[in-house]
Structure 1
Amino acid sequence: MASLQDQLLKAGIVDAKKAKKIKQEQRKQAKQQPKGSVQVDEAKQLAQQALAEKAAKAKALNKQQQQQAEKKAIQAQIIQLISRHRIDRGDGDIAYQFTDGKKIKKLYVTALLQTQLSNGLIAIAKLNEGYELVPAVVADKIKQRDESVIVLINDKKDSIDEDDPYADYQIPDDLMW
């Protein structure tokens, strides 16, 4: 295969004197450089650096999009868990009060649901702008994904501490505040 210089000569674009002069200049430049050093092409370096920066930006953007997709998937799982396992409140006539952040909220529940809420068998979860009752097992699954969705889950009180000085003064289950 002929070099670019030979091709230009054949095409008549460059004459022989000019080609010889260019070749001599290239040899001079090569001899002027110390032995063992390689001529650095700045354009190649800049192109490689730009390519590396572009790849880093693309990687960061991809990671961010992946995190957003994971967040959306977790939110969809939470909504699905709540809507599938929500407990119907029925015609509740007892107001059950709880705190959501710094605000006191109220749900009307039946007597059975009130005792289950106070015993920690069911929990209150926030769905969009409303509140739903879900079993404690489902609430634990939701809590693993996002703790802020579970508004209230009472501790199950199976045993009473023996050293508790107020053990004789139990709080009644039907106490309303």
Structure 2
Amino acid sequence: MSVSSLQDQLLKAGLTTKDKANKAKSAQRKKKKIARKQKQDIVDESKLAAEQLIAEKADKARELNQIKNAEAEEKAVLAQIKQIIDSNQQDTGKPAVSFNFSDNGAIKSLDVSNEVHRHLSNGRLAITRLDGAYKLIPTPVAAKIMQRSDDFIVLINEPTEEVSEDDPYADYQIPDDLMW
């Protein structure tokens, strides 16, 4: 079975004449010749639509990659914070007193030794919240954590000067309501 062109099939069926077929062929040739001479690009709409679709998919993929990278970075920061807290955690000592502090508007207390209470009050130690538990860390470490995220720091007191043992007025406390 030989494959014949559509033009030959139309001629055999008697739907067209040889003259009309030749005119159609020559018209097509002339169009192609003119297009080559004028160097006109034939606009292929399906090709443009495909290129636009590819560009949209690339943009979408880029956005998804940015979101994934942001999530991965967030997880990495969280892991860093947990590692910093775990490696710098300080012991509460033998519980002697209760240290009260505010956490999201609620008053919480932590049983600590007298020395740890003094360090918390003087701003040498800070309180952090990790996995629902409160942990004590040095203030410089808390500052590093705050650079990454403020969500973990519960309390950092302002550093105060320690009273020296040679101070003759160490036994006399200054009243809070004293006005200068």
Same fold? TM cut 0.5: yes
| In structure 1, C-alpha distance between the alignment counterparts of 2:151 and 2:76, rounded to whole Å | 16
Which residue of structure 2 lines up, in the alignment, with residue 117 of structure 1? 120
**Structure 1: which 5+ residue stretches go unaligned?**
1-10, 160-167, 172-177
Could you list the structure 1 runs, at least 4 aligned residues long, displaced by more than 6 angstroms after superposition. Answer: 19-22
**1:127 and 2:95 correspond:** no
1:170 deviates by 5.0
C-alpha distance 28-149 of structure 1, shift in aligned 2 (>3 A): same
1:115 deviates by 0.8
Aligned-residue CA RMSD (Å):
3.0
C-alpha distance 133-22 of structure 1, shift in aligned 2 (>3 A): farther
Conservation of the 8 A alpha-carbon contact between 2:93 and 2:116 = no
The C-alpha deviation readout for 1:89-140, integer Å capped at 9, x for no partner, is 1321211111111111111111111111111101001111011000011111
1:17 deviates by 5.0
Of 48, 54, 69, 1:66 maps to 69
Aligned length: 153
Identity of aligned residues (%): 38
TM-score normalised by length of structure 1: 0.74
Q: Which has the larger radius of gyration?
A: 2
Which amino acid is the alignment partner of residue 13 of structure 1? V
**Structure 2: which 5+ residue stretches go unaligned?**
9-20, 163-172
Which residue of structure 2 lines up, in the alignment, with residue 55 of structure 1? 58
C-alpha distance 15-134 of structure 1, shift in aligned 2 (>3 A): same
